[in-house]
Structure 1
Amino acid sequence: MTQPATAEGLLAWVPGRGLIAGLAADTQLLVADSWLVRDGQVRGLDRHRERFFRACGDCGGPSLPQLDEFWRDMTAALPRTGSWFPRVELVAGSLQLRVLLRHAPPLVPGIRVWAAGQPDPRTVPRRKGPDLDALARVRRRAAGQGAEEAVLIAPSGAVLEAATASLLWWEDDTLCLPPARLPVLAGVTAGLVQEHAVRGGIEVARRERTLDQLAGREVWLVNALHGIRAVVGWEGRGMAAGIAPRALGWREWLEGLGEPLPSGGS
């Protein structure tokens, strides 16, 4: 039976043998997915599983029974204490399944964003994995401008998302996000937020907006690691960040969604 890991590292999955250290070479990512595990608690794990399985199927990856077996072994190996940010992967060539175990970075409620408007560098924007290196380069450029994140824009100038997060904002009492026709990743956490809004009777709208049209508004970057982060500053552009009166309450709600990891990897 697989035991929870206690250290960081990259583990390759071998059918019938489980996760094994020392076999995973650096290879091009076809699919990746990640989430926060805090003292054995995780939110939306089934949704991450569904997105990962669907993307693997789109790539002609392992069979569903193999994916199921990998997921059981991977879940059993996740640490039950401490804060972790594991990443499951499907890599090109051998179509090998892997899991990267890594400690979670410090979590922060607010973020400064480079608002120069970065042309979207992704080749497969609706699938997480192939473009992680390109997005990491965008974030490094943002860091050089005193920001932690950057906004990607379409050729039309419409905002898409951040390099590692979905972009949501408020217009009066309406929660807004980019139109589905634009090349954006289906964010698990963004989906949870939208569903919570609908259940609470809050209007949700898909609107095409430029960066300038977000000035002075309550803007959130949303992902599985940090949850909801309010934009507290825009760097590289003469625009003011709006106050974020809703963020705290919504963040507390989201953090309360954590559920224990399945025992025994089931």
Structure 2
Amino acid sequence: MISVFAGGEFVAGEPIDDDLLVADSWLVADGAVRFLDDHGRRFRAACEAAALSGDLVAAMWRAAVAALPRDGVWFPRVELSACGELRFRLRTAPARGEPLAVWVRPPGDPRRVPHVKGPDLPTLARLREDARRHGAHEALITAADGRVVEGATTSLLWWEGDTLCVPPSELPALPGVTTARLQRRAAELGIPVIHRRRRPQDLAGRETWLVNALHGIRPVRRWVAPEILHPGPAEKAPSWQAWLAEQAAPLPSRPAQ
């Protein structure tokens, strides 16, 4: 279902084949969401950077949150289209929880605007199709020099001993909501968080996670790469997955009519 925000409310919309300038999505499970305010801030900031009124985006966001179902499992998406429309898509959540196989694609980032979710969604969809053709669920993006960046729809983290590692901030990656919260949690626990430049082969034998709002934390169970890469055991993931599950908070009450 596609709705367009017009005149302070949503009206039925039609699919339009124009490029997205901004998009954001999150998981809603029986009326509970993880880090909803973080997603709202990221969406509003990207829309304002595209010269849209912050007040208009804030009003649309409130209307979208109010429209979310309070039961069932959903993966809604808010959008700013290239023609200037603010849209809301109510989508059922896809299947979750499969063991994660990751295809390491050849070096080089095919995205145009990697720091913003939306403009490159068609490209990322093609990367995931390529991954499926290689027998994997997700594609790992690497820079031109072969250093790891992130997944097509996920942020990348890995463990080196008791240190949580992420790619350097100067690499072109989406500012992921879930990975930011995991890094903050590590800091609260006194766990070092280090930005490190690594190639895929450097992740062999290490516990590696690909994370996003839909799936949460998924340890890599199998690498699909030109060289043989054995994933490390997912020893730390269960306790972190339990913590992440506890972060789901009820949606705010709907405004009185």
CA distance in 2, matches of 1:88, 1:105: 17
Shift of 1:66: 1.0
Q: Is the alpha carbon distance of 1:227 and 1:233 closer, same or farther for their aligned partners in structure 2, counting shifts above 3 Å?
A: same
Aligned to 1:5: none
1:213 correspondence with 2:206: no
Task: Please say if residues 109 and 226 of structure 1, whose CA atoms lie closer than 8 Å, have aligned partners that are also in contact.
Answer: no
Instruction: Trace 1:98-109 onto structure 2 (pairs within 5 A).
Output: 98-108=87-97
Task: Please say if residues 31 and 56 of structure 1, whose CA atoms lie closer than 8 Å, have aligned partners that are also in contact.
Answer: yes
Aligned to 1:22: 13
Task: Please say if residues 164 and 194 of structure 2, whose CA atoms lie closer than 8 Å, have aligned partners that are also in contact.
Answer: yes
Choose the corresponding residue for 1:229, options 218, 223, 247: 218
Using the TM superposition, name which of 18-27 and 253-262 deviates more: 18-27
Shift of 1:265: 5.4
Aligned to 2:80: 90
Shift of 1:243: 0.6
Aligned to 2:37: 46
Task: Please say if residues 11 and 24 of structure 1, whose CA atoms lie closer than 8 Å, have aligned partners that are also in contact.
Answer: no
Aligned to 1:73: 63
Shift of 1:23: 4.6
Unpaired stretches in structure 1, ≥5 consecutive residues = 1-8
Provide TM-score, normalisation by structure 1: 0.93
Shift of 1:27: 2.1
Task: Please say if residues 107 and 144 of structure 2, whose CA atoms lie closer than 8 Å, have aligned partners that are also in contact.
Answer: no
Cα deviation 1:154-176 (Å, max 9, x = unaligned) = 11111000000000000010000
CA distance in 1, matches of 2:160, 2:106: 21
What is the letter of the counterpart of residue 79 of structure 2? E
Instruction: Trace 1:1-266 onto structure 2 (pairs within 5 A).
Output: 9-16=1-8, 18-23=9-14, 25-61=16-52, 63-93=53-83, 95-108=84-97, 110-117=99-106, 119-237=108-226, 238-264=228-254
Task: Please say if residues 120 and 154 of structure 1, whose CA atoms lie closer than 8 Å, have aligned partners that are also in contact.
Answer: yes
CA distance in 2, matches of 1:253, 1:186: 21
Using the TM superposition, name which of 107-116 and 35-44 deviates more: 107-116
Cα deviation 1:9-63 (Å, max 9, x = unaligned) = 11111123x11113553321000000000000001111111100110011112x1
Unpaired stretches in structure 2, ≥5 consecutive residues = none
CA distance in 2, matches of 1:42, 1:229: 18
Task: Please say if residues 91 and 97 of structure 1, whose CA atoms lie closer than 8 Å, have aligned partners that are also in contact.
Answer: yes
Runs of 4+, deviation exceeding 4 Å: none
Shift of 1:75: 0.7
Provide TM-score, normalisation by structure 2: 0.96
What is the letter of the counterpart of residue 263 of structure 1? S
CA distance in 2, matches of 1:137, 1:79: 30
